[in-house]
């Protein structure tokens, strides 16, 4: 367990919580505690896969009730930032976790079988950001970026053609060789080797038809219907760190979403 790090603490549960500059005075106390824990996660006090202190210890550190901490931890677990393990404690979520690594891949096989897919890297290169990519990554047009193209295959059949754009600074040193050598999920590699954790994503989906180039790679006829999924992924602080444009062949798969 990581040694205690002194944190700003509220005097008691009835007072305004710490970090007034970062959290409005009307924010519920458990939300302010959630923000404090998130700030520590962002700062690397607890690394992905590591246990965080117990609710009782956190309550003592923040000088609030254990129930307030539990509510904050519940929300962080619902946000997939923390993972509860029965009888073991609460851990920082990692994209290496089975239940986490497919969180952003919503494509499911029609037969309900294994959703794991093989990867085939087509290209990895450093280039300059086109204007539309720069806008989505909140960088300047012409800034250094990494562009990846890959296929995802189910039972040796291509299903997804991805074009992925990453900011050059955080992903300095990312090469085709490093991608090929890493056996886990790509987001797991980003997290473990580059310290970039994908927290949430927004997607835009539309129906398109395959052009000649994408049809050849996806082994479908030109003009075949495809699902276009543009995903913008964010790390802590709502900073965009990935733009992904995927073409999905849904002949034997469907896109699954859960609405609350």
Residue in 56, 74, 55, 64 with CA at minimum distance from that of residue 11: 64
Instruction: Note whether residue 103 is domain-resident.
Output: yes
- In the listed set 93, 122, 155, which residue is the last one of a domain according to the structure? 93
Residues 162 and 235 reside in one and the same domain: yes
Instruction: Note whether residue 23 is domain-resident.
Output: yes
Please determine, for residue 3, whether its predicted confidence score (pLDDT) is greater than 90. no
Between CA 216 and CA 226 the distance in angstroms is 13
Residues 24 and 108 reside in one and the same domain: no
Cβ-contact 125, 132 below 8 angstroms: no
Comparing 85 with 10, which gets the higher pLDDT?
85
- Would you place residue 94 in the very low, low, confident or very high pLDDT band (cuts 50, 70, 90)? confident
Residue in 12, 19, 17 with CA at minimum distance from that of residue 42: 19
Residues 133 and 89 reside in one and the same domain: no
Q: What are phi and psi of 227, to 5 degrees?
A: -105, 120
Residues 82 and 4 reside in one and the same domain: yes
Question: Radius of gyration over alpha carbons of the chain, in Å?
Answer: 21
Instruction: Note whether residue 260 is domain-resident.
Output: no
Please determine, for residue 69, whether its predicted confidence score (pLDDT) is greater than 80. yes
Please determine, for residue 177, whether its predicted confidence score (pLDDT) is greater than 60. yes
Beta pairing class for 118-128 and 157-167: unpaired
Residues 74 and 108 reside in one and the same domain: no
- Residue range 105-114: average pLDDT? 80
Instruction: Note whether residue 5 is domain-resident.
Output: yes
Question: Looking at the DSSP assignment, which residues form a beta bridge with residue 124?
Answer: 148
State the DSSP code for 252.
S
Instruction: Note whether residue 40 is domain-resident.
Output: yes
Residues 66 and 124 reside in one and the same domain: no
pLDDT for 97: 62
CA distances from 213 to 75, 127, 165 (A): 44, 21, 19
CATH number at residue 68: 1.10.10.10
> Length of the chain in residues, anyone?
260
Cβ-based burial of 145 (10 A; exposed 0-12, middle 13-18, buried ≥19): buried
- Would you place residue 5 in the very low, low, confident or very high pLDDT band (cuts 50, 70, 90)? very low
pLDDT tens digit sequence for 35-65? 999 999 888 899 888 999 999 999 999 999 9
- Would you place residue 199 in the very low, low, confident or very high pLDDT band (cuts 50, 70, 90)? confident
Please determine, for residue 4, whether its predicted confidence score (pLDDT) is greater than 60. no
Residues 169 and 216 reside in one and the same domain: yes
pLDDT for 16: 42
Question: Looking at the DSSP assignment, which residues form a beta bridge with residue 242?
Answer: 233
Lowest-confidence segment of 16-20, 67-71, 83-87, 214-218 by average pLDDT? 16-20
Half-sphere exposure of 234 (CA within 13 A, CB side): 12
- Residue range 100-112: average pLDDT? 74
Residues 89 and 177 reside in one and the same domain: no
The angle at the Cα of 221, spanning 216 to 223, to the nearest 5 degrees, equals 110
Q: Which residues constitute the domain of residue 32?
A: 1-93
Lowest-confidence segment of 12-26, 79-93, 201-215, 233-247 by average pLDDT? 12-26
Instruction: Note whether residue 8 is domain-resident.
Output: yes
Comparing 202 with 42, which gets the higher pLDDT?
202
Report the greatest alpha carbon distance in the chain: 67
Instruction: Note whether residue 222 is domain-resident.
Output: yes
Cβ-based burial of 58 (10 A; exposed 0-12, middle 13-18, buried ≥19): buried
- In the listed set 38, 62, 93, which residue is the last one of a domain according to the structure? 93
pLDDT for 80: 82
* Count: domains in the chain: 2
Comparing 196 with 17, which gets the higher pLDDT?
196
- Residue range 232-257: average pLDDT? 93
Share of the chain above pLDDT 70, in %: 87
Mean pLDDT (the chain, rounded): 86
């Amino acid at each position: 367990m990581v040694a205690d790090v002194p944190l700003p603490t509220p005097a008691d549960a009835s007072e305004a919580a710490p970090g007034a500059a970062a959290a409005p005075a009307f924010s519920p106390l458990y939300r302010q505690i959630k923000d404090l824990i998130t700030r520590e996660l962002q700062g690397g006090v607890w690394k992905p896969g590591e246990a965080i202190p117990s609710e009782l210890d956190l309550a003592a550190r923040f000088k609030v009730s254990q129930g307030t901490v539990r509510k904050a931890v519940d929300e962080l677990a619902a946000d997939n930032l923390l993972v509860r393990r029965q009888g073991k404690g609460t851990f920082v979520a990692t994209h290496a976790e089975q239940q986490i690594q497919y969180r952003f891949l919503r494509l499911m096989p029609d037969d309900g079988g294994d959703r794991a897919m093989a990867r085939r890297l087509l290209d990895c290169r450093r280039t300059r950001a086109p204007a539309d990519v720069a806008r989505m990554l909140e960088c300047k047009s012409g800034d250094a970026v990494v562009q990846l193209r890959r296929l995802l295959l189910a039972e040796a059949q291509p299903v997804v053609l991805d074009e992925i754009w990453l900011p050059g600074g955080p992903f300095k040193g990312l090469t085709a060789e490093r991608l090929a050598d890493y056996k886990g999920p790509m987001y797991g590699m980003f997290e473990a080797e580059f310290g970039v954790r994908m927290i949430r994503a927004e997607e835009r989906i539309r129906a398109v038809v395959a052009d000649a180039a994408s049809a050849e790679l996806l082994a479908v006829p030109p003009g075949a219907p495809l699902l276009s999924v543009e995903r913008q992924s964010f790390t802590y602080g709502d900073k965009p760190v990935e733009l992904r444009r995927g073409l999905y062949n849904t002949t034997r798969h469907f896109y699954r979403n859960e609405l609350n």
